[in-house]
Amino acid sequence: MCLARPRTAGSESGTVGAVAALPRPVVRRTISVAAVLLATAGILVASPLALPLLGLVDLLRPGPAWRTRTWCLVAGALVNEVAGVTLAAAMTLRFLGRNDRPAAQRRFHRLEHWWAARHALNFRRFAGVRWVIENPEEIDHGPAVVLARHSSHIDAILPVLLFGVGQGLELSYTLKVSLHLAPALDIFGNRLPNVFVDRHPGPDSPMDAEL
């Protein structure tokens, strides 16, 4: 769902529910960023050898070149994530203590739009994912509450593409807490008025009040 209740941007108070399942932000981001950096370095180093071999196997076997495409899809996603982490960290330092100001919020929203658009382009290029939008004329300039039903992580970014990139709107999201494991989203997502929620809150969860 989009347009959750605004909070003070730049804090970590937007995460509610059973947050104990994930480490604290500094520990979590240290682990997730290090994992993405190592995976990116590994796949880029291996690509000069792996891509010709995968291309040869795909050439010798009938059907789509899914092995090469899968490698490129993963490599592209990792490179996009590293770029997103770098930009989010730089912007966090630039607006340190001022993340809730309008100029900072605009920059973080632009980063969110760029990050989603790059991942969407990666899916289109290497996985052949296409989106069909029916009745695009119904999309207005808001404000609006968007209840987006999605079945995968891929189409979860559709509201950003449709309303953010397409219409220039600044979205506030409710997101499941496990998406903190995507380091770029973890950093810039907590600088914006989003709420990260546990899908199975306990009876004493403050989630309803936060929303």
Contact 34, 78 (CB under 8 A): no
Contacts of 175 (CB under 8 A, 6+ apart): 185, 189, 194, 195, 196, 197
**How confident is the model over 172-197, as pLDDT tens digits?**
888 888 888 899 999 999 999 888 88
Q: Which two tokens stand for residue 71?
A: 């490698």
Give the pair of three-digit tokens for residue 82.
């590293």
Cβ neighbours for 54, distance < 8 A, ≥ 6 positions apart? 67, 68, 71
Give residue-wise pLDDT tens across range 75-121.
999 999 999 999 999 999 999 888 888 999 999 999 999 999 999 99
Give pLDDT tens digits for 10-21: 444 444 443 445
